[in-house]
Chain A
Amino acid sequence: MSSGADSAADAASLNPPEPLSVRLIGRGSAAGALVIAMVALAYAVVLPLVAEAVSAPAPPRVIDIGEGATVTVAETWSEGSPAAGETTLTQGGATLVLSEPEATERLPIETLDGLTSGWIETAPEGSVATAPRTFTTDAGDDAATVVLQEPLETVQAWVVSDGAHEVIAVLTAPPAAWEATSASAQVLVRSLTFAEAAP
């Protein structure tokens, strides 16, 4: 019984199905091209459009980063998901995290030195840090910044202090995105205003 089925099974085992590579010979591979085109379009066109829609830029706005301190944010920055004690902004693959104002008696450059030392200890081999640069914000507060170049990304930190409180801002960006976002982040940090001290 079932000799027909047996011989069919034998035939199947003797002639296993041809691999796809053989079946493709002499064919145009339109289906394959469609798959690859969809992957390329999804990544190069659709994803940036979705990102634009999801993180739709708003007109320049003033954001409260806590304790009454504010920054003026350009429309190119999008607000990330809220987290306790910090404000996250994103732009073109870069992330800027601003801390809530904290009481301090240190100068911005002192806080920055501590941050830089901590970074250098944990940063990958080959990382380099620039010398800190000081400046004054639009509101007249003291501020300082430093750039740490790691092999895979660039990090820039700012510390702004009104003498009693300080805010730390950290920008993390892949090298390709850093140049564009650094200048915009600098303008944003310059706009930082602390709450008026109570009389």
Chain B
Amino acid sequence: MPLDREQVEHIASLARIGLTDDEVEMFRQQLSDILEQFQALAELDTAGIEPTGHAVDLRGVLREDEAGSSLAAEEALSNAPRREGEFIRVKAVLEE
């Protein structure tokens, strides 16, 4: 079933992606086409089959808890778009 514009806008808001009107229409069509390809899965009975998250059997690889060097604050902040001293500056999260 093809997506409608409202659904695309809802998905975009979940993903926090601002779309133009033209993009909403383009993605509506393209995502609908892609979702149609997924119908093949719906036809398969997978009852009782365990899901696989990682294809290689991993047994919780843990490292020793040893103190080591880490990034200096100046390095860690070197790519921040907006700074104030040793802090990253952001817009107000809570509004009045």
Do A and B truly interact?
no
Please give the residue numbers on chain B whose beta carbons come within 8 Å of chain A beta carbons, in ascending order. none
Please give the residue numbers on chain A whose beta carbons come within 8 Å of chain B beta carbons, in ascending order. none
